[in-house]
Amino acid sequence: MSKDERFDVVVIGAGPNGMTTAAYLAKCGLSVCVLEERTECGGACETQEPIPGVRIFPHAMLMYASPAPGFEQLELHKHGFRMNWSPHDVLTENTDFACTDGWRPITDKDKLGWAKLGGLLGTPPFTRDLMRATFWCPPHPPEVEVTDENVPYMQVYKQHQPDIWTHELREMTMLDLLDEHCETEHFKTAMAFAAWASGAAGHWEGVAIPAVTSVQLLTLPNTGNRSIPRGGLHGYFHAIHRAAVSHGAVVRTCCPVDEILIEDGRAVGVRLRETAAMGGRTIRANKAVIAAIDVHQAFLKMVGPRHLDPGVIQKIKDVSLKNQTLYVSVFHTKTPLKLNAKFASHQEAKGIGSGPGRTPQLGVYPCDSREIYYENVADVDGHKGQPVVPAERVMWFHGPPQTFDPTDCQASYKRGYISNAFEVAVTSPDLHKEGEDALDRYKAEMDAYMRKAYSQMVDGLDDANLIHHWSATGRDVEFRNTGLIGGTWCGSRHDEDQLWTNRPIQELARYRTPIEGLYHAHQTSGHPGGLCLMAIPYNLMHILIEDGIAEPGDWWYASPWYIPQHGKISARRG
Ligand SMILES: Cc1cc2nc3c(=O)[nH]c(=O)nc-3n(C[C@H](O)[C@H](O)[C@H](O)COP(=O)(O)OP(=O)(O)OC[C@H]3O[C@@H](n4cnc5c(N)ncnc54)[C@H](O)[C@@H]3O)c2cc1C
């Protein structure tokens, strides 16, 4: 048997970005091979099964993708995508936010300000346009100067809600913007924290709108409220995987790539690691190689200095992939966790909860004021060590229930109760001042600290009730998913070059790379970065059409805010 195989496109990495790109390209009729290092596909859209029949979600849990064109374009409903609709609506229900002194109500001004920023008060509402403009549009070509007039979300506001449009909007922090439009401190604090965990932190300058819209993807009624895919985000990934396979993509697991083959300055294929299931084999690409893996590995290891300008190499080295990471906890208990006396009666009376089981949705705790938020940010971004914020003041959020079909064994698991995930931002391993294994060395203490933090709101985490505490440290996250950056799509630096046309390195901003035929489609380099949005693959499609690699059928539509590159094929068809 020949050692070489040949496809039109080789995709390295079967995380959500790699697999969605493969689905798009296979639908265009190209032969596509996806190569995945691990035994399973999904990247950080994974599930673990620590007990037979019990699945937990150590990473991606929240569905931020609902306005993505990929649902229609890839027809994910035909490939098994199902959503468990949550009717819980933070804008119309009298939602309260959890603070150290109990629930505090939010006001009509909070709700109306939030609704207005999210395009709900337009006639007609323009939420989908706003979200698509923020995330689902490729950066403008390098020859186009980025101005207040041509940034997609600025255009949407100007057209639909002109009183929000100001020259300052692109300079502001999310907290600045919320101070203008909303009222209560606890609402603003909760939203800023949610933005920090979603990508662009609430206190970062220049990302007010991406920060607001990333949280609105989880909270507005017309983005699905807190609905989650059946089977969690891994269920969503399955639909994408099936779409890719149904269009003919070949997916190979246990196939780590070691090298991107470059001949005469052009990427022509990849070489697998000797230990791969198809050890050492060369897989050639007629049209393109797509690196859907982290930017360091892709360029510093697989391409190497021989093929890259030293300036670009230095910029890639300068991108620290590690900012905060999330410490994730899931509990197996004898009796279900219950809200403690300070919080119980109130929420139960309102019947608030999400998923078919109406599991209480605790949201973010404690939201008292932005001082608490800043204390937590300082711990992670400043102290770079074990947390010093007292457990009573550590900010955490409670993931949605990962609902399963009633016939699924998890839904009727008899031996105890499995909680939703709880998450806290912590210093990422390689920035920890006591060394990158510190989080693991302190794991028992960290687990106890986390339980104390969650016990501010829930009862049942005591030794007598606890069967097991599954926790994933930043180190665990890294080992399981190469190149994760803690869910943060802005990466670790907060500066101009983390934004859109520059993100995070201008040479890679439009997913092209200095190597002809090599594209980069991973959260660590492409706009808009992390979260399982189907955004990088959709945006990349514009570029692959421009370069004559992909020729989609009638199902394709480009972003209305996309500006074609001079001298290239326009991705706007017809
Ligand atoms: C704790 C945590 C919580 C998160 N929560 C959410 C959430 O609720 N909602 C959400 O939308 N997003 C969430 N995210 C972010 C989201 O999971 C990531 O943004 C997303 O997985 C990025 O997808 P990707 O395809 O770019 O990369 P990855 O998911 O990292 O996939 C890359 C793939 O490439 C493979 N690979 C690496 N090296 C090689 C090699 N040499 N050869 C072959 N294959 C290789 C990896 O094994 C992996 O499968 C979270 C992330 C974390 C860490």
Task: Find residue 290's DSSP bridge partners.
Answer: 11, 519
Which H/E stretch holds residue 331?
Answer: strand 324-333
Average pLDDT, whole number, for the chain?
89
Mutate to test the pocket of ligand 1, among 297, 484, 511 (most ligand atoms within 8 A of CB): 484
pLDDT at 23: 98
Mutate to test the pocket of ligand 1, among 273, 364, 481 (most ligand atoms within 8 A of CB): 481
Question: What are the CA-CA distances from residue 403 to residues 145, 196, 389 (Å)?
Answer: 46, 25, 33
Number of C-alpha atoms within 13 angstroms, CB side, residue 181?
22
Is the Cβ–Cβ distance between 365 and 102 less than 8 Å? no
Residues with CB under 6 A from ligand 1: 12-18, 35-38, 43-45, 59-62, 64, 233, 256-257, 292-293, 297, 326, 328, 477, 481-484, 486-487, 522-523, 530-532
Distance CA 288, CA 47 (A): 31
Give the 3-state secondary structure of residue 570: coil
Q: Which range among 405-414, 501-510, 526-535 shows the weakest confidence by mean pLDDT? A: 405-414
Distance CA 121, CA 161 (A): 8
> Quick one: 443 exposed, middle or buried, by C-beta within 10 A (0-12, 13-18, 19+)?
middle
Distance CA 284, CA 9 (A): 8
Rg for the chain, CA atoms, rounded: 23
- Percent of the chain at pLDDT > 90 equals 63
Q: How far apart are the first and last CA of the chain?
A: 44
Question: What are the CA-CA distances from residue 477 to residues 260, 368, 429, 532 (Å)?
Answer: 25, 30, 10, 16
Q: What is the pTM of this model?
A: 0.95
Is the Cβ–Cβ distance between 440 and 473 less than 8 Å? yes
Reported as a single tens digit per residue, the pLDDT across 364-393 is 999 999 999 999 999 988 888 999 999 999
Question: What are the CA-CA distances from residue 91 to residues 178, 185, 394, 395 (Å)?
Answer: 15, 17, 26, 23
Question: With the CA atoms of 245, 247, 252 and 258 taken in that order, what torsion angle do they form, in degrees rounded to the nearest 10?
Answer: -140
pLDDT at 486: 42
pLDDT at 490 over 70: no
Give the residue-averaged pLDDT of 492-508.
79
Give the 3-state secondary structure of residue 8: strand
Cα maximum dimension of the chain? 70
Distance CA 418, CA 264 (A): 55
- Res. 88 pLDDT band, cuts 50 70 90: low
The CATH number assigned to the domain with range 4-50+232-319+487-546 reads 3.50.50.60
Phi, psi for 310 (deg, rounded to 5): -55, -30
pLDDT at 356 over 50: no
| Residue type at position 492 | S
Q: Is the peptide bond preceding residue 366 cis, with omega within 30 degrees of 0?
A: yes
Distance CA 221, CA 429 (A): 37
pLDDT at 494 over 80: no
pLDDT at 495 over 80: no
Distance CA 427, CA 437 (A): 12
Reported as a single tens digit per residue, the pLDDT across 272-331 is 999 999 888 999 999 999 999 988 899 999 998 999 999 999 988 887 766 678 889 999
What are the extents of the domains in the chain? 4-50+232-319+487-546, 86-223, 324-480
Q: How far is the CA of 541 from the centre of ligand 1 (A)?
A: 20
| Residue type at position 571 | A
